Structure 1
Amino acid sequence: MVEKTYPMTKEGKEKIVQELEHLKTVKRKEVVERIKIARSFGDLSENSEYDSAKEEQAFVEGRIALLEKMIRNAVIIEDNGNDNDTVALGKSVTFVELPDGEEESYTIVGSAEADPFEGRISNDSPIAKSLIGKKVGDEVTVQTPGGEMLVKIVAIK
């Protein structure tokens, strides 16, 4: 079975490595300490502190496993800087909603490092899927949860 790959920038991979390190060295110890303290409260069958700490432990361990898998299967997006004509993974694209919308810019990244509030959208998002492969000047219909919108690509970096 082929494992899923995770496209990401070098910076995105570094952030994931740092989060993994924090979870393993700091958060894991904090949770173990919470469990130890909760056990001292007595009867575990009616101990909400213990249950909460065990749930957090399961979350932390699940996140560690996911991050390890993402790092193991990371595919680094290389921007060779040669092709700024076509929207692609790792590129920043600026577009205007037609007929008279404001300019918006996004960098298209892998899902592992997407953060729409930071202007980084996943290559799996409807906007990115609609824009990938298009060129400056192209008018593109984008499917969004709120319906269709027509945009014109004005810049690619």
Structure 2
Amino acid sequence: MSDRPRFITAEGFARIRAEYEQLFGSERPKLVETISWAAGNGDRSENGDYIYGRKRLREIDRRLGYLSKVMKNAKVVDPASQPDRDVIRFGATVELADEDDARRTLTLVGDDEADAGAGRIAWGSPMARALVGARVGDERIVRLPAGEKSWEVIAIAYPEGAIRAT
């Protein structure tokens, strides 16, 4: 992960911080306690609690390190403060229609908060890059692994009111 800023919404930052706090403040201390108890039981080579606990502790520490870097490099952007709401930018919720008039609604979010199943696509994805700068009525051709597809911008919306990261 580079040290360049990573754009993220306040909501996405809050989710990452909550995961970090849950892992660091709750799950990790319980696991350390279990590992200490298991280590005191003698032979560690056949002690499932000890072996699994150490493996899980490494996974948690690796995830904590990643989340820490994400939070350090995060640049929280409030989509509600977007001055030009007629153009697709970071945080916009966009309604699109393809050639067959199939509708799709997407929100452009940071790479660390993307969830395609929920309609949140990464700011750096091919679809988002093709849409940035478009206005209602514009048609954009998106190059995807399955081939090119044309999408027309039907509506652009931004959230109302500022959301603050805690």
Give the TM-score, by structure 2 length: 0.83
Letter of the 1:110 counterpart: G
Judge which range, 47-56 or 112-121, deviates more: 47-56
Q: Secondary structure at the match of 1:13?
A: helix
The equivalent of 1:12 in structure 2 is 12
The equivalent of 1:92 in structure 2 is 93
Q: Distance in 2 between matches of 1:39 and 1:127?
A: 51
Change (3 A) 1:111 1:67: same
Show CA shifts across 1:76-134 (max 9, x none).
11332431221111111110111x14211111011111112222111121211111122
Letter of the 1:15 counterpart: R
The equivalent of 2:125 in structure 1 is 125
- Over the aligned positions, Cα root-mean-square deviation in angstroms equals 1.8
The equivalent of 1:50 in structure 2 is 50
8 Å CA contact 1:5–1:70 kept in 2: the answer is no
Shift of 1:59: 1.1
8 Å CA contact 1:95–1:103 kept in 2: the answer is yes
Q: Distance in 1 between matches of 2:46 and 2:67?
A: 33
Q: Distance in 2 between matches of 1:139 and 1:47?
A: 61
Give the structure, 1 or 2, with the largest relative contact order (CA under 8 Å, sep 6 or more). Answer: 2
Judge which range, 34-43 or 9-18, deviates more: 34-43
Aligned sequence identity (%): 34
Shift of 1:33: 2.8
Shift of 1:145: 2.9
Letter of the 1:53 counterpart: G
Shift of 1:70: 1.4
8 Å CA contact 1:86–1:134 kept in 2: the answer is yes
Aligned residue pairs, count: 155
8 Å CA contact 1:6–1:75 kept in 2: the answer is yes
Shift of 1:48: 4.2
Q: Secondary structure at the match of 2:57?
A: helix
Shift of 1:50: 2.6
Letter of the 1:83 counterpart: D
8 Å CA contact 1:107–1:120 kept in 2: the answer is yes
The equivalent of 1:36 in structure 2 is 36
Q: Show structure 1 runs of 5+ residues with no match.
A: none
Change (3 A) 1:36 1:156: same
Alignment of 1:58-137 (within 5 A): 58-79=58-79, 80-98=81-99, 100-137=100-137
Letter of the 2:117 counterpart: F
The equivalent of 2:25 in structure 1 is 25
Shift of 1:41: 4.9
Q: Show structure 2 runs of 5+ residues with no match.
A: 158-166
